[in-house]
Structure 1
Amino acid sequence: MRLSKPGQAPEAIPAMCHVGTVSSGPRRSRQFLTLAECRSTRPAFAELVEGVAGLRDVPKRTLSVRTLLHLPRLAGPGGAIRRSDVIAELRLNANRLQTDHQAIAHLVPNDEIPLADLHFVELGRGVADQIFSRLHYLRSARSGSLNFALVDPVHRRPVTLCSVSLLEWARVARQLRTQFDVPPDSAWEVSRVYSFAVAPTNAISFLLAKVRQALRAVKDASVMTTAVDPNLGFGGASYRAANWQRWMSVQARPYLYVDGMYASPRQLRLRFGGANLSDLRRANPANRFEQSRVPLLDSWIFCCRLDGTTETIPPEGQRRLRR
């Protein structure tokens, strides 16, 4: 295996507001859903996802996450969204996902392989970039990353993959140094994770354990870290299963959208040269720039030491970092 140093079960989320209802004859049909309900394990959203995913023949989990990323654009300040708008957004994202799957059909695994039979490899950038750019909810790959995967032993197609790179998040890096004595440039970030529908149970946590072993060969590497976004229904179960610990949280900022599609600040800077919406609107009148209005949940920062035991930090010891 080549290794060289280059240059995320949903948890219960508190409800934000009640689900609205309207009368329809003898039955009461639900006209509104909330973001809290959609990202929880309750069936109202899950049943809609299952129905649309089945009709479009796309993976349910991927469709759910993609749609949750775009629903805050439609939600009011209290978090309520019309049920019809949720369905329309699911269909729109299912169509996009169907197109993305077709574009890289040659890389999509079809067989269910037992975990013990999968091979751990360092994945070439070309393959990883295609999968992350098409199927990851951010639809982009992180440049300058190392990519690792569990691949099937016959066709060598990735079943579960992730990318890691030196931590660039300055606020998190400072807190790691101040509170946990993690030297600068020794923290590595898991920036992308994607697992296909055929992946066996515990594939992500198994991959993370293998990556931890691999990074021990990198000079000065001491900690792995990642951000888990509960707004997308993530709870960090795979990281906990790999013996990671939640060390801190980061204040949420509004989601940003260009022409109805989510765009991270990094993507906006790469595409338009900046991430300030007022400046972008003036400089690019042909594009529609929006941001979510509903309050979002903080991101959770999970960490794992490469050597030794990773400390468990009680809730009162977990700092909340501001943007």
Structure 2
Amino acid sequence: MTPVVARLSLDDCRRHAPDFANLLADAVRKYGIPSRALSVRTLLHLPRTTRPDGTVGRKAVIGELKRNALRLRADQRAIDSLVPKDRFELPDLRFVRLGNNDADQIFSRLHYLRSARAGSVNFALVDPVNRLPVTLCSVTPLEWMRVGRQLQSQFGVPLGAAWDVSRVYSFDVAPPNAISFLLAKVRQVIRREIPSVQLLTTAVDPNLGFVGASYRAANWQQWMSIEARPYLYVDGVYASPRQLRTRFGGANLVELRAAHPRGRFEQSRAKLLDSVIYCCRLRGETEIVPEEGQRRLRR
């Protein structure tokens, strides 16, 4: 009989080692929600209770799985009319430009950040019967100036000529390779319709179990990394700095605690892994950057 461990390492949770995978599977069966979406949401919240040595208590993991499963189930029910139920093969899906209303509802409810990026252009693969989005993404002019300046100095990409794939979401019914297929279609349409754009970028966060496989399959390349900053939480729920500035007018925890004494503002305790920046040129091949040529950007 396999012994029950009292503490799990955050790294094992990211890699879906058996101790975490079994707890995840139990929660998926109990609450009837998608495994991948629950895993990502839970990994986003586990660093709040993780010790500096990178371990988290088994009871805390079970608690986060339950809490995030209930919230995810409520989010799905809130937009049930937009959730596809039927499976189709990849060639049967249709590539479309998705309206902001549908995209914003899906990203604000089901994406792990639970927010849509303002000013985005949205694309999707929709099913051929109900025209429901199966896999979708939003593309936005790159706002991350530190990345933009590095792209300009190292790769000759002018400021303003890079756009960011800022949100991606794929439902459980999506066929294999749906995200990479969607990314290839997006590259084609932006190259044709917005000739000023030379490059697409995205940030992949390995702390959430992402490894960039869909981007590599679409011939994107890893060009740089950027140091991690602590995750931020309000009353136990993750909030990005952008969301904090929108809700409270700032993202400094010391100032927020002073201004809102009834709120519980926290940050993650354990060391987080750097985010990886993947890039794709819209014209010609995207060059491979050897590891020694990849810069690590600081916040």
Q: Counterparts of 1:97-246 in structure 2 under 5 Å? A: 97-216=72-191, 217-246=193-222
SS in structure 1 of the partner of residue 4 of structure 2: strand
Equivalent AA in structure 1 for residue 287 of structure 2 = E
Q: Counterparts of 1:277-296 in structure 2 under 5 Å? A: 277-296=253-272
1:197-246, CA deviations, whole angstroms, 9 ceiling, x for partnerless residues? 00000000000000000111203100000000000000000000000000
Equivalent AA in structure 1 for residue 224 of structure 2 = M
Please state how far the C-alpha of 1:54 moved relative to its aligned partner: 1.2
Equivalent AA in structure 2 for residue 286 of structure 1 = R
Equivalent AA in structure 2 for residue 312 of structure 1 = I
Q: Residues of 2 paired with 1:160 and 1:28: CA distance?
A: 39
Q: Residues of 1 paired with 2:155 and 2:97: CA distance?
A: 29
SS in structure 1 of the partner of residue 168 of structure 2: strand
1:273–1:243 Cα change, 3 Å: same
1:227-272, CA deviations, whole angstroms, 9 ceiling, x for partnerless residues? 0000000000000000000000000000000000000000000110
1:36 aligns with one of 11, 28, 32: 11
1:180–1:87 Cα change, 3 Å: same
Equivalent AA in structure 1 for residue 146 of structure 2 = R
Name the TM-score, length of structure 1 as normaliser: 0.91
Equivalent AA in structure 1 for residue 106 of structure 2 = I
Query: Is 1:73 the counterpart of 2:20 in the alignment?
Result: no
2:59 aligns with one of 79, 84, 87: 84
Please state how far the C-alpha of 1:34 moved relative to its aligned partner: 0.9
Query: Is 1:262 the counterpart of 2:238 in the alignment?
Result: yes
Match of 1:63 in 2: 38
Q: Residues of 2 paired with 1:191 and 1:240: CA distance?
A: 17
Please state how far the C-alpha of 1:50 moved relative to its aligned partner: 1.1
Match of 2:276 in 1: 300
Equivalent AA in structure 1 for residue 58 of structure 2 = R
Please state how far the C-alpha of 1:44 moved relative to its aligned partner: 1.6
Identity %: 65
Please state how far the C-alpha of 1:27 moved relative to its aligned partner: 7.0
Q: Residues of 1 paired with 2:3 and 2:33: CA distance?
A: 30
Match of 2:23 in 1: 48
1:148-169, CA deviations, whole angstroms, 9 ceiling, x for partnerless residues? 0000011010000000000000
SS in structure 1 of the partner of residue 85 of structure 2: coil
Please state how far the C-alpha of 1:29 moved relative to its aligned partner: 2.2
Match of 2:294 in 1: 318
1:113-162, CA deviations, whole angstroms, 9 ceiling, x for partnerless residues? 00000000000000000000000000000000000000001101000000
SS in structure 2 of the partner of residue 29 of structure 1: coil
- Find runs of 4+ consecutive structure 1 residues off by over 3 angstroms: none
Please state how far the C-alpha of 1:28 moved relative to its aligned partner: 3.5
Q: Counterparts of 1:4-43 in structure 2 under 5 Å? A: 28-43=3-18
Mean Cα deviation higher: 295-304 or 44-53: 44-53
Q: Residues of 2 paired with 1:278 and 1:41: CA distance?
A: 35
Equivalent AA in structure 2 for residue 268 of structure 1 = L
Match of 2:225 in 1: 249
Equivalent AA in structure 2 for residue 270 of structure 1 = T
SS in structure 2 of the partner of residue 106 of structure 1: helix
Name the TM-score, length of structure 2 as normaliser: 0.98
